[in-house]
């Protein structure tokens, strides 16, 4: 074996990165930008803990990347420090649960139990929820602990009964009168709390806290604070922060996306053995980040939504006219017949188009015509390479061969039209 292979890691150095963790979602900065009001509001809800009371439940709304999670962790850390100063740190425990990954009652209860007692012998699956409730109640009574549970993406929880049971812990006759289980929910769904069952909403008694999107200036400040910690000196061109902030401000002010774009730009510069990140690297990173972003969104979409997007991708590539809802529906109808699945009405498809626009897959504009208004649909160029991912859906997998045959035919037709145009221009 070549000696250089044996020492491969020792020989690797980076003139770009100093500490990549600073750019990750788990990093909690010492200063948070444009969130003083939200920090104060959440702190006010938690403050009763310091006076022997229970926090007020809250649901925190905001777009992805608006700082909900980092603010919640930041305030929780401040609370724990103050509790330690006052000597009450062993009376309250904060538990963070990511509901995108842990969303069933059994998994959530198991995670809570493990947070209270990591030595618990109950298995993660295979038992009814009553076993986990009984074990948690027993541990809380024994330890005299109270819980602040933070549900990140609370709207992903599959059963309302879980929140109902947790919020009613103080009604347990065997519980200490000072004990509580408090709930803080984080969600991207602005209507989640309002759409809850009225009885659960009454039990939860949650305050709504709204996080507005970051603007370009906020994102510039966030990135500027991270750059000296994450990168070597002079590794980032002065224009790069502004480019990353502007791109991300355009997409609902997502700070996580801005940080990912900056990190990906650095990785591309490093792969090219260049010592400074420039706009060239940001442009290259933008395409990669967009694909990753859309891939994640696709994983959460229904088969019908994917079929509509596949139709739009095909039309975007080969249509010679602007894509209206009617043209898209015609294309969708053709594809749905090939899958053998039920065809949705044009009204239902129109509704799904609106949902896809809200999710960020496409943009619609209104065009006035003699027969009334129509919607014109466009998608980001990064979506055009995701047809294979859409076709990997088990319900659409049988469409692959027919789809690529159609694509091949239309590509030849497009080339033929181009050849005719070139030929006529020489006449």
**pLDDT tier at 417, thresholds 50, 70, 90:** low
* Per-residue pLDDT tens over the stretch 298-321: 988 899 999 999 999 999 988 878
Helices (H), 117-156: 129-143
Residue 45 · residue 55 · CB < 8 Å:
yes
**pLDDT tier at 213, thresholds 50, 70, 90:** very high
Rounded CA Rg of the chain:
26
Of the candidates 161, 159, 156, 117, which has an alpha carbon nearest to the alpha carbon of residue 136? 117
What's the whole-number mean pLDDT along residues 29-53? 96
Q: Is the pLDDT confidence value at 177 over 90? A: no
Question: What is residue 414's predicted lDDT score, i.e. its pLDDT?
Answer: 60
Question: What is residue 380's predicted lDDT score, i.e. its pLDDT?
Answer: 82
Question: Could you give the CA distance from residue 276 to residue 272 in angstroms, rounded to a whole number?
Answer: 10
Question: What is residue 381's predicted lDDT score, i.e. its pLDDT?
Answer: 80
Higher pLDDT, 177 or 84: 84
* Per-residue pLDDT tens over the stretch 349-401: 999 998 888 788 888 988 876 667 789 999 988 888 888 899 998 888 789 88
Strands (E) located in 116-222: 146-152, 181-187, 207-211
Question: What is residue 415's predicted lDDT score, i.e. its pLDDT?
Answer: 61
Question: Which of 6-20, 103-117, 289-303, 342-356 is modeled with the greatest confidence?
Answer: 103-117
**pLDDT tier at 422, thresholds 50, 70, 90:** very low
Question: What is residue 317's predicted lDDT score, i.e. its pLDDT?
Answer: 86
Local structure of 183: helix, strand or coil: strand
Question: What is residue 3's predicted lDDT score, i.e. its pLDDT?
Answer: 64
**């439940």: which residue's tokens?**
57
Which distant-in-sequence residues (6+ apart) come within 8 Å of 186 by Cβ? Answer: 59, 60, 68, 69, 72, 150, 151, 152, 153, 154
**pLDDT tier at 252, thresholds 50, 70, 90:** confident
CA distances from 419 to 24, 102, 152, 218 (A): 50, 56, 55, 50
């Amino acid at each position: 074996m070549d000696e250089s292979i044996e020492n491969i890691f020792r020989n690797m150095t980076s003139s770009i990165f100093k500490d990549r963790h600073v750019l990750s979602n788990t990093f909690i900065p010492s200063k948070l930008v444009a969130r003083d009001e939200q920090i104060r509001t959440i702190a006010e809800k938690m403050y009763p803990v310091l006076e022997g009371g229970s926090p007020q439940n809250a649901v925190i709304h905001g777009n992805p990347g608006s700082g909900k999670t980092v603010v919640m962790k930041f305030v929780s850390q401040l609370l724990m420090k103050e509790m330690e100063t006052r000597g009450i740190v062993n009376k309250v425990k904060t538990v963070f649960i990511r509901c995108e990954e842990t969303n069933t009652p059994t998994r959530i209860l198991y995670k809570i139990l493990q947070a209270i007692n990591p030595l618990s012998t109950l298995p993660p699956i295979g038992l009814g929820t009553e076993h986990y409730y009984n074990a948690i109640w027993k541990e809380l009574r024994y330890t005299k602990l109270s819980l602040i549970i933070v549900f990140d993406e609370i709207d992903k929880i599959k059963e309302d009964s879980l929140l109902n049971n947790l919020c009613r812990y103080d009604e347990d006759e065997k519980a200490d009168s000072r004990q509580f289980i408090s709930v803080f929910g984080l969600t991207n769904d602005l209507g989640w709390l309002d759409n809850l069952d009225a009885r659960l909403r009454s039990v939860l008694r949650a305050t709504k806290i709204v996080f507005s999107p970051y603007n370009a200036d906020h994102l510039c400040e966030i990135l500027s604070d991270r750059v000296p910690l994450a990168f070597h000196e002079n590794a980032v061109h002065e224009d790069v922060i502004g480019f990353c902030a502007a791109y991300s401000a355009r997409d609902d002010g997502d700070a996580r996306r801005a940080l990912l774009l900056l990190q990906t730009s650095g990785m591309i510069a490093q792969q090219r053995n260049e010592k400074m990140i420039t706009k060239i690297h940001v442009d290259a990173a933008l395409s990669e980040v967009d694909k990753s972003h859309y891939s994640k969104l696709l994983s959460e979409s229904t088969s019908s939504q994917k079929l509509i997007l596949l139709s739009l991708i095909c039309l975007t590539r080969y249509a010679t006219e602007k894509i209206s809802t009617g043209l898209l529906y015609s294309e969708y109808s053709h594809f749905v017949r090939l899958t053998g699945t039920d065809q949705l009405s044009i009204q239902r498809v129109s509704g799904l188009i609106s949902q896809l626009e809200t999710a960020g897959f496409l943009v619609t504009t209104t065009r006035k015509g003699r027969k009334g208004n129509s919607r014109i649909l466009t998608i980001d160029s990064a979506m055009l390479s995701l047809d294979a991912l859409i076709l990997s859906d088990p319900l659409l997998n049988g469409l692959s061969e027919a789809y690529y045959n159609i694509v091949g035919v239309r590509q030849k037709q497009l080339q033929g039209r181009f050849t005719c145009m070139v030929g006529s221009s020489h006449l």
